[in-house]
Structure 1
Amino acid sequence: MNQLAKFFFKSAIKSSRQPFQLTQKSIRNFSSMEQLKKLRDETGSPIAQVKKALDEFGGDFEKAKQFLIEKGLASAQKKLDKETREGVIGLYVSQNRDLAVIGEVNCETDFVARSDLFLDFVHSTLKTIVDQKKNVKFNDEQKDQILQFLQNNTLNKEIIEGTKNENMDKVRQLVISKLQENINVRRVSTVEIQNGVIGSYTHNTLADNIGARACLVSLEGANSSDVSKQLADNIALQILGMKPDYITKENIPADVLQKEIDRIKAEFGDSLKGKPQAVVDRMIEGKLKKFYEDNVLYDQTLLTDQEKDAKTIGQLINEQCKQQNSQIKIKEYILWTCK
């Protein structure tokens, strides 16, 4: 290869490594750098489509924007049937701790599930439900009811410029258009309590109160002190970490308890023969203690307390009852993992 050929070859290689840069010189007709950037940010449309829209509408920003939004919504409609296997569980709790909501929102990829716009949509949707004091309980089989709810309610926050006073579903479709992935609100449920506090905990958080797993729990009868709130949050963490099947021993169905007793007797085998009934009962009760610790919330010690003499959830609740001079009990809890 002669020297001239080498020069042109190196120049071509160097040029190919340079990233594409949009310059004033490359913008023609009515499109300006500022308009292009702003319109791209507000609509999520590719830069080529943004420039074309501005040119077609003679530089009229609002007309170009409306055109791109409608085009984006049409594009979003085509994505609504795509499967959504990724997503998050989000929470929002009112300042007074008397109303909270938990929701699962899905998308197609983990990349989008971690994006700021997606997380903002999740947070804003849940916050709106609490701020407007909505009472909703939709499971993942109530798709039509969820869609109707989104269409009939306005999002409080303008997460995309120009969407003020738009319904939640319209905003969802605009988010789909910008992120180029289908997004579904899979399920959502509120927890409300008149006399008590709500505790919450989120695991593997991607943003405030948004993660892969989350739990809400309501403590009926608890006052609004910081101690009560911390106890409620600790119980939510406990439920998320241990996933107990029952709140108290009294909640265990008789047939389930009998099945466990029969299993214990079979495990002891012939060693129970000839022993007084009182001794047999103590042996069985000793084995049942482990069953209770694994399956009954009130019989579990806090995950955050590793001391040998750590108190159980039931003991902690009883202590708070004495301090308040009132009865406190767990009214309900919701534990969700992103499906």
Structure 2
Amino acid sequence: MAAISASMVKDLRERTGLGMMECKNALVEANGDIDVAIDNLRKSSALKAAKKSGRTAADGVVAVKQADDNSYAVVVEVNSETDFVARDDNFAAFAGEVLDAVFAGKQTDIAALMDGDLENKRSALVQKIGENISVRRAAVLEGDVVGAYVHSNNRIAVLVSLKGGNAEVAKDVAMHVAASNPQVVKPADMPQELIEKEKEIFSAQAQESGKPAEIIEKMVQGRIQKFLAESSLINQPFVKNPEVTVGDMAKQAGAEVVSFIRFEVGDGIEVEKKDFAQEVAEQLKG
């Protein structure tokens, strides 16, 4: 059997990006032939990547990019399994490439976006890092003036479209959306099914008061109005100056809020929680 030197392991690591022991074992199996080792690693790594793709990736980052003329912006969410990987430079570089691809083609169809080079890079990153990596979603927002904001932890990102105003006002509104998480721009935008759901809850609560039906109806209507005000962006107190609403702040700047998009990492993803002892037992079995 050929002797496996440290330089051979180093060479294979640089060419594949895989771990030292994995490279050493591959060289042993290939009797020191680096090309054969690479072929074997590609086969086994592809299998590993396929297995990892079934694991839930609910951590990760969001990122935004704006056009120079502020006419449009894009936002993406790229997921990993852990926060540790979400802070990895290789992961960040991949997320940046995804963002650039979305921005260049205004492409929000993830299947079409990943068909080709990006999917190869994702698979290679899964092999290198050892966690499932997924591109979850992307969105484009266009308008007269589009602003963006990404919170410092890279877990919340917002795009805002204004009629009138400027990018700075749009960014301020986006910052508010990140902090307050409104459901709609204005009360009229609230889906009727959500209103009915809230009305049902409020009615059940009001019934317990024992008050007459007409009083209960007024109580429910009052709570619905409060719900709509609190859930609508333009009616919320502006985070930078609670003395004015977001709508009034925008109006004072000669702007009107048209729409917004808010991405939060992992929002809506169900993560299976396992007992620690059970998880260890499953890993030992594997």
Could you tell me the TM-score, scaled by structure 1's length? 0.61
Kept in 1, the 8 Å contact 2:145–2:170? The answer is no
CA contact (8 A) 2:73 2:146 kept: no
Partner residue, 1:149: 113
> Aligned to 1:181, which of 100, 124, 131?
131
Please say if residues 31 and 59 of structure 1, whose CA atoms lie closer than 8 Å, have aligned partners that are also in contact.
Answer: no
Q: Specify which structure has the higher proportion of strand.
A: 2
For each residue in 1:305-333, what CA deviation from the matched residue of structure 2 results, as whole angstroms up to 9, or x when unmatched?
A: 25xxx222111211221xxxxxx332321
Q: Is the 8 A contact 1:92 1:123 kept in 2?
A: no
Letter in 1 for 2:160: V
Q: 1:43 to 1:219 in 2, by over 3 A?
A: same
* Larger RCO (CA within 8 A; separation ≥ 6): 2
Code of the aligned partner of 1:72: S
Identity among equivalent pairs (%): 26
State how 1:10-159 maps to structure 2 within 5 Å: 29=3, 31-33=5-7, 35-51=8-24, 56=30, 65=38, 68-81=41-54, 83-96=55-68, 97-130=70-103, 132-136=104-108, 138=109, 146-152=110-116
How many residues are aligned here? Answer: 255
Corresponding letter in the other structure for 2:127: S
8 Å contact 1:103–1:126 — kept in the other structure?
yes
SS at match of 2:18: coil
CA contact (8 A) 1:98 1:192 kept: yes
List alignment gaps of at least 5 residues for structure 2.
270-286
Higher alpha-carbon Rg: 1
2:232 to 296, 299, 303: 296
CA apart distance, 1:116: 2.4
Cα distance 1:287–1:113, how it changes in 2: closer, same or farther (>3 A)? closer
Among candidates 229, 245, 262, match of residue 167 of structure 2: 229
1:79–1:253 Cα change, 3 Å:
closer
Structure 1, gaps ≥5 residues long:
1-27, 139-145, 153-166, 223-227, 274-280, 322-327
- Could you tell me which of 233, 256, 259 is aligned with 1:329? 256
Aligned-residue offset at 1:127 = 2.2
CA distance in 2, matches of 1:69, 1:116: 23
Match of 2:282 in 1: none
SS of 2:62's partner is strand
Would you say the 8 A contact 1:30–1:59 is kept in 2?
Answer: no
Assess, with a 3 A threshold, how the Cα gap between structure 1 residues 48 and 221 changes in structure 2: closer, same or farther: same
Go from structure 1 to structure 2 and tell me whether the alpha carbon gap of 1:135 and 1:332 turns closer, same or farther (over 3 Å shift): farther
* Alpha carbons of structure 1 residues 241 and 120: separation in structure 2 relative to 1, 3 Å: same
Q: 2:158 maps to what in 1?
A: 215
Partner Cα distance (1:286, 1:108) in 2: 43
> Deviation digits for residues 154-212 of structure 1, max 9, x if unmatched?
xxxxxxxxxxxxx000000000000112222222222233x22222233x61xxxx32x
Across the aligned residues of Structure 1 and Structure 2, the Cα RMSD in angstroms comes to 3.9
* Map of 1:198 onto structure 2: 147
